[in-house]
Structure 1
Amino acid sequence: MSIAFGKTLTVTDTPIPGLVVLDLPVHGDSRGWFKENWQREKMTAAGLPDFGPVQNNISFNDAVGTTRGIHAEPWDKYVSVATGRIFGAWVDLREGPTFGAVFTIELDPSKAIFVPRGVGNSYQTLEPDTAYVYLVNDHWSPDAEYAFLNLADETAAIDWPIRLADVEISDKDKNHPRLAQVTPIPPKKILVTGADGQLGRALRRRLGEHPHIEYATRGALDLTSADLDTARRWRDYGAIVNAAAYTAVDAAESPDGRAAAWAVNATAVARLAAVAAEHGITLVHISSDYVFDGESDRPYLEDDPLAPLGVYGQTKAAGDLAAVTAPRHYVLRTSWVIGEGKNFVSTMRSLAERGIDPSVVDDQMGRLTFTDDLAAAAVHLLESRAAYGVYNVTGSGERRSWADIAREVFRLTGHDPDRVTGVSTEQYFANATGPVAPRPRNSTLDLSKITATGFSPRDHMESLAEYLAD
């Protein structure tokens, strides 16, 4: 066996998305050779996914021509050769436009290949005493979804170097189905929590109804449960979009509300983050402008110090700190959320129509965020695979006060905007009978970071006009 020594570590794409070939540096002398077969830091820096292997398997093959496959499993696989040489063939058995695509290559100890979840794997030994090595990032389970393809499938038309009639193949592999009979492996699942809330409904509109997308209400999945880590086969999930939240800002200042806010906004997020970290899931978590005190004279940046004023803001800040412990995370900080159902805009429209002239706070400044836009931003980050981190997501445009927005609602619905009277926060809550949470006076968030990913937030006043027209 001749091994190419002295190569540099390189990663090369193939026609199958996610299937990449690695040239491995091999160092040899009269004693033999040495290589770093899997070196996480170097290989992820070169572009290989940080796939988190949990098991290392070796298949030893005595004879030339031993042929195995084609097997597709719901996990990633890193394939290499310790001794000998193989002809490898991979067929995309995932749902999508590349279903049935084929790639072949010879592997010796100086090459390896990363095989993404759902791509069928097979090989034929070209030398005796071949040791075929593969790392996987999940354990075999009878509940997982597998796909198999016949080695002789006419559509794939793999050009095996040794005729299949002349080699050793198991009866099971001989009887696998042809491509037309293969059930494609679906994408990893996406779980949306808080599915019955304003954002949850917007996410349902954005993501649609598909077998691999789950929408969970609290009744279906209790995020505060101690057994959350066993509530699902989490290895089947690629993303969790956490739209569940305790949002009763004033009630959070009461004893019962305080406990509920901490349970949903902090403890549940910590448990989701632990699940995401354990299983390589991307966690999308929705945060709030209330993590800041509102004293800044400029829009808040993502890395500004957290300084919440009240219990609600404290629980959201704690949730942020928990969410970022998941290695793959997007924390979306937003403000003044408007969606389907009861909200500030619908209330102002109702007051206008009923002839009621409201007093509205005019010393809190910010921008509206419509749930359809927030859902679009979350999906954009997932699909574009933007850098993980914290992102501000609100409507764009000039900041306004609540009173400004109320007047615009009146105007857009054909009513006199001068019927709205601006008052200070102190005046507005002067006669409150229950607990009142402190509010940030400046809720304006800087949008430069999300814009740099290619997402363009809509002007919140234009969105308001569309919302009222609908």
Structure 2
Amino acid sequence: MRETSIPGLLVLDLPVHEDERGWFKENWQREKMVAVGLPDFRPVQNNVSFNAAAGTTRGLHAEPWNKYVSVLAGQIFGAWVDLRPGPSFGAVATVQMGPDKAVFVPRGVANGFQTLASNTVYSYLVTEHWTETARAHYSYVNLADPALQICWPISLDEAVVSAADREHPLLAEARPVQPKKIIVLGGNGQLGRAFAQRAAQDARLEILTRAEADLSDPRFAEKTDLSGCSHVINAAAMTTVDHAETAAGRAEAWQVNATAVHRLAQRCAEQDVVLVQVSTDYVFDGTSANVDERHPICPMGVYGQSKAAGEQAVLAHVRNLVVRTSWVVGDGNNFVATMRRLAESGIDPLVVDDQVGRLTFASELARGILHLIDTGSAQGIYHLQGEGDAASWYQLARMVFELCGHDPDRVQPTSTAAYRASRQGIAERPGHSTFDLRKLRAEGFIGRPERILLSEYLALLADVS
């Protein structure tokens, strides 16, 4: 296999076994080809084009799917033009092909060929089923555009070319093929809002709020349109831990955090979409510190149990990711915003000092998830939380008061047991909410220091208040 001038366009040499009867080849062999570096692109449809005359020329068409092209009989001159936005837009690659070669064509790269022999048979596997509506998402570029400098072996004046192919736009007018969408569920939440902020610079992101995708609806998964989508990030959840212990809350938690996630995972698998499930430290009982991804789950309450069930539903399908996090801080109600409000209001809070963890800022969580997607990280579980020393809620509250210019001694400590005894309906919380982050760091993601992020966040709250 060799690379070309177009990123992701790969040329494979196929062994052809000949004898007096003819020849045989493995035209597509998933295990062997993935082993040498071809993407595991999972074709769903096989198309064959028979071309009676030499000089038959087709293209240049960029469809919204990956394609694996090969020749079953005859010879072709293949040409490809990158129509994806970015520095390689307009790049050209050409290959002369017989039965002993194949080419992997990534989504957004325009494909064209010219037959060099009569009775040529051209085959291609694609990763999405063709429909009439799919044609609206094609992009084209003219075979004869001088800017491409494609040296067709047979002059296009003498070639067999359809009228439609002769009328395609020049490269300067060609419509770039946009990347597949990344759907984010839970757009109303802190993480969803962080992704919404990133959407201004990342056109892939499509944010769906609860009004548009409600996991409490039993038919939510069937109603969610996954066409043209590469990933779904499920940032939606039922997170009211105390309410989850009630009869009504228990039903809601299991529907939103487990049942809906199970069906969503099935739908994503059916459509070859990667599901990224955002999970929680509550899948552990909190008796161990700095747990890694292999640590046995042991949830204490209904919320953690329902989230653990959702994890297992997601991990049952290949390619999916589970990203566990803790103590999220972003645009919305959270501990830091509450402590700042109390500090400014002259209220001296009583805060537990025996629950230890790290803050995770929603902006960093969003950045880390996209890093895992964009680097093609292996499927499975990843722990992602803030960088820095672990601290109790009490210590964090003191830090917030100090950074806001208030006396940190106004914050008073209490134990979890005393706090629960003074209030009705308080669910158990993990004593330790600290993760081992080595697996995530090995993927190349290093979070920004928590103290700096906290200062920036508090300054932002001060600006908008």
Q: Place the TM-score, normalised by the shorter chain, in its bin.
A: over 0.9
**Which of 69, 76, 80 matches 1:86?**
76
Q: TM-score, normalised by structure 1?
A: 0.94
* C-alpha deviation, 1:401, in angstroms: 0.8
342 and 358 in structure 1: CA distance in 2 versus 1, 3 angstrom threshold: same
Query: Do the aligned residues in 1 keep the contact of 2:330 with 2:361 (CA within 8 Å)?
Result: yes
* C-alpha deviation, 1:223, in angstroms: 3.3
Residue in structure 2 matched with residue 307 of structure 1 by the alignment: 298
Structure 2 spans left out of the alignment, 5+ residues:
461-465
Describe how 1:32-47 pairs up with structure 2 within 5 A: 32-47=22-37
How far apart are the structure 2 equivalents of 1:232 and 1:158? Answer: 42
* 2:282 matches 1:287: no
**1:124-175 deviations in Å (ceiling 9; x for gaps):** 1111221111111112223330112221112112100011111211222122
**Which of 38, 45, 59 matches 1:48?**
38
* 2:361 matches 1:370: yes
How far apart are the structure 2 equivalents of 1:17 and 1:279? Answer: 25
* C-alpha deviation, 1:309, in angstroms: 0.2
157 and 456 in structure 1: CA distance in 2 versus 1, 3 angstrom threshold: same
Residue in structure 2 matched with residue 169 of structure 1 by the alignment: 161
Residue in structure 2 matched with residue 352 of structure 1 by the alignment: 343
Letter of the 1:194 partner, please give it. Answer: G
Letter of the 1:72 partner, please give it. Answer: A
Q: Could you tell which deviates more after superposition, 263-272 or 440-449?
A: 263-272
68 and 226 in structure 1: CA distance in 2 versus 1, 3 angstrom threshold: farther
Residue in structure 2 matched with residue 202 of structure 1 by the alignment: 194
How far apart are the structure 1 equivalents of 2:131 and 2:315? Answer: 30
* C-alpha deviation, 1:410, in angstroms: 1.5
* C-alpha deviation, 1:50, in angstroms: 1.3
Q: Could you tell which deviates more after superposition, 255-264 or 460-469?
A: 460-469
* 2:320 matches 1:329: yes
* C-alpha deviation, 1:66, in angstroms: 1.2
Letter of the 1:176 partner, please give it. Answer: H
Structure 1 spans left out of the alignment, 5+ residues:
1-10
Q: Could you tell which deviates more after superposition, 276-285 or 105-114?
A: 276-285
How far apart are the structure 1 equivalents of 2:147 and 2:120? Answer: 29
Q: Secondary structure at the match of 1:56?
A: strand
Residue in structure 2 matched with residue 276 of structure 1 by the alignment: 268
How far apart are the structure 1 equivalents of 2:221 and 2:457? Answer: 39
How far apart are the structure 1 equivalents of 2:6 and 2:152? Answer: 19
Query: Do the aligned residues in 1 keep the contact of 2:195 with 2:205 (CA within 8 Å)?
Result: no
Query: Do the aligned residues in 2 keep the contact of 1:283 with 1:326 (CA within 8 Å)?
Result: no
Query: Do the aligned residues in 2 keep the contact of 1:51 with 1:280 (CA within 8 Å)?
Result: no
Residue in structure 1 matched with residue 463 of structure 2 by the alignment: none
* C-alpha deviation, 1:233, in angstroms: 4.7
How far apart are the structure 2 equivalents of 1:132 and 1:286? Answer: 44
228 and 98 in structure 1: CA distance in 2 versus 1, 3 angstrom threshold: farther
Residue in structure 2 matched with residue 77 of structure 1 by the alignment: 67
Query: Do the aligned residues in 1 keep the contact of 2:195 with 2:207 (CA within 8 Å)?
Result: no
How far apart are the structure 2 equivalents of 1:382 and 1:19? Answer: 20
**1:314-364 deviations in Å (ceiling 9; x for gaps):** 011111112223422221111111111221111112222222222111111
424 and 232 in structure 1: CA distance in 2 versus 1, 3 angstrom threshold: closer
Q: Could you tell which deviates more after superposition, 409-418 or 391-400?
A: 409-418
* C-alpha deviation, 1:13, in angstroms: 1.0
* 2:239 matches 1:247: yes
* 2:440 matches 1:442: no
**1:182-233 deviations in Å (ceiling 9; x for gaps):** 2111111111111121111111122326654311111112334454455355
* C-alpha deviation, 1:107, in angstroms: 0.8
Query: Do the aligned residues in 2 keep the contact of 1:189 with 1:239 (CA within 8 Å)?
Result: yes
Query: Do the aligned residues in 2 keep the contact of 1:280 with 1:328 (CA within 8 Å)?
Result: no
Q: Secondary structure at the match of 1:234?
A: coil
How far apart are the structure 1 equivalents of 2:224 and 2:168? Answer: 30
* 2:132 matches 1:121: no
Residue in structure 2 matched with residue 152 of structure 1 by the alignment: 144
Query: Do the aligned residues in 1 keep the contact of 2:218 with 2:260 (CA within 8 Å)?
Result: no
Q: Secondary structure at the match of 1:105?
A: strand
How far apart are the structure 1 equivalents of 2:456 and 2:205? Answer: 28
Letter of the 1:427 partner, please give it. Answer: A
* 2:250 matches 1:263: no
Query: Do the aligned residues in 2 keep the contact of 1:411 with 1:417 (CA within 8 Å)?
Result: yes
* C-alpha deviation, 1:70, in angstroms: 1.1
* C-alpha deviation, 1:417, in angstroms: 1.7
272 and 402 in structure 1: CA distance in 2 versus 1, 3 angstrom threshold: same
Residue in structure 2 matched with residue 220 of structure 1 by the alignment: 212
How far apart are the structure 2 equivalents of 1:74 and 1:336? Answer: 39
Residue in structure 2 matched with residue 143 of structure 1 by the alignment: 133
**Which of 451, 454, 459 matches 1:461?**
451
Letter of the 1:47 partner, please give it. Answer: G
How far apart are the structure 1 equivalents of 2:363 and 2:372? Answer: 14
* C-alpha deviation, 1:56, in angstroms: 0.9
Letter of the 1:74 partner, please give it. Answer: P
Q: Secondary structure at the match of 1:214?
A: strand
Residue in structure 2 matched with residue 8 of structure 1 by the alignment: none
**Which of 75, 78, 96 matches 2:86?**
96
* 2:437 matches 1:430: no
Q: Secondary structure at the match of 1:184?
A: coil
23 and 173 in structure 1: CA distance in 2 versus 1, 3 angstrom threshold: same
260 and 464 in structure 1: CA distance in 2 versus 1, 3 angstrom threshold: same
How far apart are the structure 1 equivalents of 2:129 and 2:440? Answer: 37
Sequence identity (%): 55
Q: Could you tell which deviates more after superposition, 92-101 or 239-248?
A: 92-101
Q: TM-score, normalised by structure 2?
A: 0.95
Query: Do the aligned residues in 1 keep the contact of 2:195 with 2:363 (CA within 8 Å)?
Result: yes
How far apart are the structure 1 equivalents of 2:66 and 2:221? Answer: 21
* 2:6 matches 1:16: yes
Query: Do the aligned residues in 1 keep the contact of 2:58 with 2:113 (CA within 8 Å)?
Result: yes
* C-alpha deviation, 1:275, in angstroms: 2.3
* C-alpha deviation, 1:104, in angstroms: 0.5
